Amino acid sequence: MKIAVSGKGGVGKTSITAWLGDYLARRGEKVWMVDADTALSLGQASGLERVQLPEPLTQRASLIEERIRPAGQGGMMDLDPHVSDLPEALSAVLPESDSAVPMRGEKRLLVMGPLTNAGGGCACESNALLKALLAHMVLERREWVLVDMEAGVEHLGRGTAAHVDALLVVSEPSMRSLETAAEVARMAGDLGLRRQVLVLNKATPQQVASLPPLAGLPGQRLCLPDLEPLRQRQLYSGSVLGLGREAEKTLDAFCAALLRQLEGTARPAE
Ligand SMILES: Nc1ncnc2c1ncn2[C@@H]1O[C@H](COP(=O)(O)OP(=O)(O)O)[C@@H](O)[C@H]1O
Ligand SMILES: [Mg+2]
């Protein structure tokens, strides 16, 4: 299944992507974790040290040049660049988290880097390669793909968005992040990504049941409580994994409920 995660900054997109990826890998799945946010924090949230992070795709000038303007094409841009080898070549294996359930599957991290403002030459070239790689991940790969994005789904493009199985729209119980959530959901719907679940993070079931009637908010809703062990931990660690037994139980129940909802929302795997 291919899942994209979007919403306002700071609402918990990266944490939720890391938790879901870890849950799946502990249950034997192979998971691609794609960091498509400019903040580049999915690796650290998943327990990688800063120095272990793979270099972002959009910063790799020579690779972008080689794939987008291949030799022998007179400097013409290749609109369908060869990318199928890149996930393996550019990704890092994510470490096993400290959990009661051992990791039987695998998690790999692929870092896209900023969409515009590219370090590797012309922005339009790096964007073209990034979009081609995301399209490959969503359309061609059989494994799980979780894409941690910014507030918006522009990275996906119309052709790719329509093939994403579900969008998690993450929000806090606040008017401003709910307004962003509604906007993101509407934009994604316009791109053809209509299978959406609203995840209300750091929230109670009562808050989920009494959300303001904002046009565009996904009708399927789920909440995740505020996790005290994470609040204590985040001051000195970037990882959101291995928060202890109680938090793990809460997160496992959340991931299981989310996957049940997604299975109900998403079309069957091809
Ligand atoms: N359920 C939660 N309970 C407590 N803290 C949380 C929870 N979810 C996320 N956080 C914290 O909130 C902050 C923002 O989370 P993050 O996942 O980085 O958001 P985003 O990716 O949307 O910007 C981080 O410090 C994270 O540790
Ligand atoms: Mg983030």
For domain 2-264, give the fold: Rossmann fold (3.40.50)
Give the ligand with the smallest distance to the CA of 16: 1
Question: pLDDT value at position 269?
Answer: 42
- The domains of the chain are located at 2-264
Question: pLDDT value at position 115?
Answer: 63
Give the ligand with the smallest distance to the CA of 40: 2
Helix, strand, or coil here: 108? strand
How far is residue 39's CA from residue 178's CA, in Å, rounded to a whole number?
21
Q: Which run of H or E residues covers position 3? A: strand 2-7
- pLDDT of residue 118 exceeding 70, the answer is no
- pLDDT of residue 263 exceeding 60, the answer is yes
Question: pLDDT value at position 116?
Answer: 59
11, 13, 15, 17: which to mutate for ligand 1, most atoms within 8 A of CB?
15
How far is residue 73's CA from residue 70's CA, in Å, rounded to a whole number?
6
Average pLDDT value for residue range 144-172: 90
Average pLDDT value for residue range 86-105: 93
How far is residue 33's CA from residue 223's CA, in Å, rounded to a whole number?
22
User: 29-45: string of b/e by CB count within 10 Å (b at 16+)?
Assistant: bebbbbbbbbebbbbbb
Question: pLDDT value at position 75?
Answer: 78
- Tell me, in angstroms, the distance from the centre of ligand 1 to residue 15's CA: 6
**Residue, of 123 and 167, whose pLDDT is higher:** 167
How many Å from the N-terminal Cα to the C-terminal Cα in the chain? 9
- pLDDT of residue 133 exceeding 90, the answer is yes
Q: Which residues line ligand 1 (CB under 6 A)?
A: 7, 9-15, 41, 201-202, 224, 226-227, 230-231, 234, 240
- Tell me, in angstroms, the distance from the centre of ligand 2 to residue 249's CA: 23
Average pLDDT score, the chain: 91
147: confidence class by pLDDT, cuts 50, 70, 90? very high
Q: Per DSSP, which regions of 69-143 are E strands?
A: 92-93, 106-111
Atom of ligand 1 nearest to the CA of 8: 22
How far is residue 182's CA from residue 221's CA, in Å, rounded to a whole number?
13
pLDDT digits (tens, 9 = 90+) for 182-230: 999 999 999 999 899 999 999 999 999 999 999 999 999 999 999 999 9
**Residue, of 62 and 118, whose pLDDT is higher:** 62
